[in-house]
Amino acid sequence: MKSSFLFALVLVSTGSLAQVKQTETVQQAWFGYFNQTRFSNKWGSWTDLHLRTKEDFVSGLSQSILRFGLTYYLNDDTKLTAGYAYVSHYPADNHKNVTMPEHRPWQQIQWHSKYSKLRLMQWFRLEERFRRKILNDDELAEGYNFNFRLRYNFFFMVPLSKNKFQPKSLSFVVNDEVHINFGKEIVYNYFDQNRFFLGFAYHVNKHDNLQFGYMNVFQQLAAGNKYRSNHVARVFYFHNLDLRKKTDQNLK
């Protein structure tokens, strides 16, 4: 009898939670520029810049990110990167007239797998997020909210042209990235968000490509029972430089 009562209570509670769950829908545009430059067999740099609109694809900015790092190459396909990102969270519901800054150190391991008809990339990234506290709609408070975030990114690219991955060819792209929060200040939203992308890559040359397509960002907000589904038009440019060739030529 007691077990039956507990089981019924769980069902009722689950149903109640489902009823109060709130999901808002937003349409955004995300623009990004990525640069990876290799200086030597072991060392390189990472830089990426982002601009994200607020809603309806064009109505103001919600966020900008400047991220850079130093990369150590374990080999041609595996590398370690550590760096810093500065994030501007532009005025929103709980800070309508002030921009909230965020300082974000980060560490990452990234590896590539290359096949004749497939390019595969994965990474794990750890972030330490220091977000400035908000006093009210017009003022920032002293101090920062802090939490860790772990990200896993899975990306693969399939050629659509006979001249596979060559300049002026086109590829199909699938990308999924899950974000997990943890730390003392996280109460409800250990799951932060998932980003699922479908699109295309235009190979500008052997090292650069322009990616464009649709991304859905499904995010659980800090309140726990509130979620956001972002329908995103995403355009990213990937710019890769290898300076070792110039160095080798100078040595000859």
Distance CA 62, CA 90 (A): 5
φ, ψ of residue 7 to 5 degrees: the values are -65, -40
Q: What is the pLDDT of residue 188?
A: 85
Q: What is the pLDDT of residue 4?
A: 53
Q: What is the pLDDT of residue 55?
A: 85
Give me the residue label for tokens 């300082």: 103
Q: For 69-93, b where at least 16 C-beta lie within 10 A, e where not — what string?
A: bebebeeeeebebebebebebbbee
Q: What is the pLDDT of residue 98?
A: 94
Q: What is the pLDDT of residue 1?
A: 52
What does the pLDDT profile of the chain (252 residues) look like in tens digits? 545 544 443 443 444 344 467 899 999 999 999 999 999 999 999 999 999 999 888 778 999 999 999 999 999 999 999 999 999 999 988 888 999 999 999 999 999 999 988 999 999 999 999 999 999 999 999 999 999 999 999 999 999 998 999 999 999 999 999 999 999 988 888 999 999 999 999 999 989 999 999 999 999 988 778 899 999 999 999 999 999 976 544 444
Q: What is the pLDDT of residue 6?
A: 44
Residue 131: CA count within 13 A, CB half-sphere = 16
Distance CA 181, CA 131 (A): 14
Distance CA 200, CA 214 (A): 10
Write the single-letter amino acid at 22: Q
Q: What domains appear along the chain, each with residue ranges and CATH number?
A: 25-251 (2.40.160)
Q: What is the pLDDT of residue 17?
A: 44
Encoded tokens for 63: 């966020």
Among 210, 201, 196, 206, CA closest to 238: 210
For residue 123, how many other CB atoms are within 10 A of its CB?
Answer: 17
CA distances to 88, 95, 151, 185, 228 from 222, rounded to whole Å, are 19, 15, 18, 10, 11
**CA angle (24 as vertex; 139, 16 as ends), nearest 5:** 105
